Chain A
Amino acid sequence: MQHLIILPILLPLFTGLAMLIKRDATMQPRRTIGLVSTALLVVISIALVVESSHGQISYYALGDWQPPFGIILMLDRLSALMVCLTSVLALGSLAYACAGDDKKGSNFHGLFQLQLMGINGAFLTGDMFNLFVFFEILLIASYSLLMHGGGKDRTQAGFHYVALNLAGSAMFLIALGVLYGTTGTLNMADMGQRVAELDPERQGLLKAGAFLLLVVFGLKSAILPLYFWLPRAYASAPAPVAALFAIMTKVGIYAILRVYTLIFGDSAGDLANFVQPWLWWFALATVALGGIGVLSARDLRTQVAYLILISVGTLLVGVSMDRVASLSALLYYMLHTTLVSGGLFLLADAIADQRGKAGARIVPGRGVTQPALLGLAYFVGAITVVGLPPLSGAIGKALLLNAAQPSEQPWLWSLLLLSSLAGLVAMGRSGSTIFWKAGKPDPEGPRLKPSMLAGLILLLGASPLLAIFAGPITEFTQASATQLLDPGAYTQAILAPTSGGDS
């Protein structure tokens, strides 16, 4: 199956295009097509994970232009894992959207598929400029999805998001220009090789380009000085879109992980691993600020957005420690946090829906119509997102804490545990306000539709599953981390002329 690598990009593209036909027709066929295609994507991505689990790095040369000259797609353990995570998250949020959120604006399903295409492309590409193009695809789809359904709040949050990301794209291009100008290539593996052989006089320029790239990826992943757009945008987005956006910050983290291990990793000579010390402090500050933000939130959705911020900080701390143990821990934590925070966005929307006027605000108000069901879901979500045992959050955080060296422990342990405490207090407070200080529920009120419940169970239920299958999953993440930290294997697999790549 040599064409398997490109399927996660082509399938959503064609499905998205098919949605453009007869845009005013009834909703049902498009829902079916969207769900079937996303379920197929899950199957394909599992096949990719199985293929990559043998540890070989394969590539797909588009138009049969051999690397380093043409654009390639690259499949290793990390990218397979990310594509798989995206498709599962997408299936959950799409199922939730099919209960009626998709009808609130035009062409939800088409945009959703194109967004998936952009995300999968960004995870699979092995070319820097192609990464930019896929970033733009996922961004332009996300601009429209963010404003799906319209409304004052959304347009304003949307304008900020668009303006910031346009400025970010401009910086991305400048950074790419600098990298191309100094190394003369855009292929990631090739660039990694050229960086090591670079004339010392040009190193300053390259370093500037690399830092600029860090700023761009930092903006996407919402690291401390660049996170201000996130809480508002996520809190005002429609729930299924906010749930899908849980992966968007991880695209930035993936890009940081990829670029600063493959290009500026151990093999980069004088420039090896030069951003990690910077990242360490910014990531810790993000964790601390996320903890404060969680306590200050007055709306359940803003609270979940700040929980995402904590998870972004936690993940980047893992990146900056740059060891097999820390990278493996962060990959496990990434699976957990993406699915669970996506599920929490859906849950917050379901709660807001059933509480009538009080909405998602953390004030005493009308009770929810289905207190037992939503309460249980909230309980599971809250426990796992703040990292209490026995669910997956605790395992992820424990792995990361365990990966810290004695010199890093005082900072990491205190900040990470304190922010978890802040999350616990905040989630406990809002849970008791919403479920216990509630008045009489409206018996005629809206109830969860089956497809909403399916989406919720898929995303929140992933947490116990991740905990039960923690053994095989950590084995896989450990192998991915080992693979990532060996850039030589990538140059060998992609640039050595003897290795026959798929074309």
Chain B
Amino acid sequence: MEALFATVTGFLAASGLYLALRGRTFPVVVGLTLLSYAVNLFLFSTGGLTTDGAAVIQDGKTHYADPLPQALVLTAIVIGFAMTAFSVILAMRVRGDQGSDQVNDQRGDEAREEKS
């Protein structure tokens, strides 16, 4: 299970990083989202992967999962959602303001050069 988990996390992170380095805003946003998924999975696994473990202390149970990473990943997911929503809106705003969805708008740079 560990090998599969690690492969999936690594693959997600690699795809996310690749997309985040692209030149248009939409792939960048998708890439950052994938990256945050990979991070969430990674964070979830930091307490060790346990199956069938109890998260809350109960009588007669000896097999426990670490509850803290679950709480952490929940926080990270919520923050990640907010950030994704924000970056989607921002990407649309960039598209509206610049008239193009390039992350580095070349035309904008030229206009600035002429001004100064």
Contact = CB atoms under 8 A, between A and B. Distances in A.
B19 to A, nearest CB: 11
B43 A155 contact: no
B68 A180 contact: yes
A235 to B, nearest CB: 11
A111 to B, nearest CB: 13
A159 interface: yes
Contacts of A181: 46-48
Contact of B83 (A133, A156, A169, A176): A169
A361 B114 CA distance: 12
B66 to A, nearest CB: 9
Interface string B90-105: 1101100110000101
B25 A180 contact: no
A174 B75 contact: no
Given A167-B32, A170-B36, A181-B46, A155 B87 contact: no
Contacts of B87: 162-163, 166
Interface residues of A, number: 33
A51 B93 CA distance: 47
Given A155-B94, A163-B32, A173-B43, A129 B20 contact: no
A174 B20 CA distance: 17
A469 B84 CA distance: 47
A167 B43 contact: no
A154 to B, nearest CB: 9
- Per CB-CB distance, the 8 closest pairs between chain A and chain B, nearest first, are A181-B46, A177-B46, A177-B43, A173-B39, A155-B97, A170-B39, A166-B32, A170-B35
14 contacts: A143-B90, A152-B108, A155-B93, A156-B97, A158-B90, A159-B90, A163-B32, A166-B32, A167-B20, A170-B35, A174-B42, A177-B39, A181-B47, A299-B116
Interface of A: 129, 133, 136, 140, 143, 147, 150-153, 155-156, 158-160, 162-163, 166-167, 169-170, 173-174, 176-178, 180-181, 186, 298-299, 361, 363
